[in-house]
Amino acid sequence: TNRTFTMLKPDAVENGHTGAILDKINAAGFRIVALKKTQMTKANAEAFYAVHNERPFFGELVEFMTRGPVVAAILEKDNAVDDFRTLIGATNPADAAEGTIRKLYATSMGENAVHGSDSDENAQIEGNFHFSGREQF
Ligand code: GTP
Ligand code: MG
């Protein structure tokens, strides 16, 4: 088995898309290992997206990710990281393929509805950022 980590971002949660997005994730064959609605502090978001801290949009990204609750989840499926990134589509929804989660639910490059880990190593780090060991089944 193989795992990835996702967050439904504040725009998706605010817009009432949590259920529909979780449905698409299930329909694509992912098993939900861990799931919670939570809100990140500024320090949490800065740590989570530390890899982007030199980018011009970093302040905007942290502001956005902390403006409301997110839904965090660990997902399991063969080839989880790559298959999940295919399911969500390109970072910019204007470039996202038809039927992808970002094509359906994202509003802009900044407010793009969902996060997906970009490697097995980051999936592990990001899952452990939000969930303790005994929350991961
Ligand atoms: P994540 O799954 O959220 O990591 O997205 P990604 O892997 O498709 O993109 P990347 O890691 O390169 O960027 C992380 C996030 O920063 C994106 O999902 C966007 O929310 C945000 N972001 C990236 N580029 C821009 C930008 O040019 N402007 C703004 N406002 N936000 C950006
Ligand atoms: Mg990324």
Ligand located closest to 52 CA: 1
For the chain, what is the radius of gyration of the CA atoms? 14
Of 4, 6, 13, 7, the residue nearest 105 (C-alpha): 13
Give per-residue pLDDT as tens, 115-125. 999 999 999 99
* C-beta of 112 in contact with ligand 1 (< 6 A): yes
Residue carrying the six token digits 């399991």: 76
ipTM for this model? 0.95
Nearest 5 degrees, angle CA 23-CA 47-CA 1?
45
Ligand 2 centroid–CA 49 distance in Å is: 8
* C-beta of 55 in contact with ligand 1 (< 6 A): no
Taking the mean position of all CA atoms in its chain, how far away is CA 49?
12
| Residue 65, H or E segment | helix 58-65
Give per-residue pLDDT as tens, 93-122. 999 999 999 999 999 999 999 999 999 999
Q: Which amino acid is at 86?
A: T
Q: Residue 87: pLDDT above 80?
A: yes
- Tokens for 11? 């725009």
* C-beta of 118 in contact with ligand 1 (< 6 A): yes
From 91, 118, 122, the mutation candidate for ligand 1 (largest count of ligand atoms within 8 A of CB) is 91
Taking the mean position of all CA atoms in its chain, how far away is CA 30?
14
- Tokens for 111? 């407010």
What confidence score (pLDDT) does residue 1 get?
A: 60
Ligand 2 centroid–CA 117 distance in Å is: 6
Mean pLDDT for all residues in the chain: 97
What confidence score (pLDDT) does residue 69 get?
A: 98
Q: Which residues are annotated as a binding site for ATP?
A: 9, 57, 85, 91, 102, 112
Give the whole-number percent of the chain exceeding pLDDT 70: 99
The model carries a pTM of 0.96
Distance CA 77, CA 1 (A): 6
User: What domains does the chain contain, in order, with CATH numbers?
Assistant: 3-131 (3.30.70.141)
